[in-house]
Structures are given as structure tokens and as C-alpha cells.
Amino acid sequence: MSGVSYTFSPGGWKESIYFFFYKKKCPCCHEKLRKEKKTISKGIIIDEVVENIKTELNAYEIEYLYICDQCNKTYTIVELTKIAF
């Protein structure tokens, strides 16, 4: 079983707005950024949804990195949000 959950830093409402609604452009050269997905396995989580029914879930943490091919710079969503707002 799998699912999707997004986690942003505390007070990260700006990050979530930027992540979902803004176009990602390089702050230096204004070229479109390429999104790269970095996946880290967190192991198996046992979740008890209902009494006596346990579900094993594979947990992953996914971090997106935004890369400018022209400048060879890498940004996280936190860095891009700080520059934009």
C-alpha cells in the first residue's frame, strides 16, 4: 500500500503555495529549472487503522531539487521560496 503526503517546514504556507502554483525559474538567469526527485527509504511503518487490523506501509521521504542547466546551480524549494517572497 502506498500514499502521498507533503511536508513543509513549520510556517511553510509560502513554500506550499510556491511548490504547487509558481513556475520554477532560476533566480540568476531566469531559465526554466529542471526538477529532480531524491528518494530516501525510511523503512516499514506499521499503521493500526482499525482495532486489530494492522497495515504495513513502505515509508519514503522525497525531496525535490531544482537544477539550472545553464548556471549549474541547485536549489531546494525553501531557497526558491525565500528568494521569491
As averages over each run of 10 residues, the pLDDT of the chain (85 residues) reads 65 80 92 91 77 78 90 91 84
Question: Which region holds residue 30: left if phi is over 0, alpha if psi is between -120 and 50, else beta?
Answer: left
State the pLDDT at residue 72.
93
pLDDT value, residue 11? 66
pLDDT for the residue 60: 82
pLDDT value, residue 24: 92
- The secondary structure element, H or E, covering residue 16 is helix 13-21
What is the reported pTM?
A: 0.71
Q: At what angle do helices 13-21 and 77-84 cross, to 10 degrees?
A: 100
Q: C-alpha cell of 24? A: 520554477
Q: Which three cell numbers stand for residue 1?
A: 500500500
- Find residue 32's DSSP bridge partners: 25
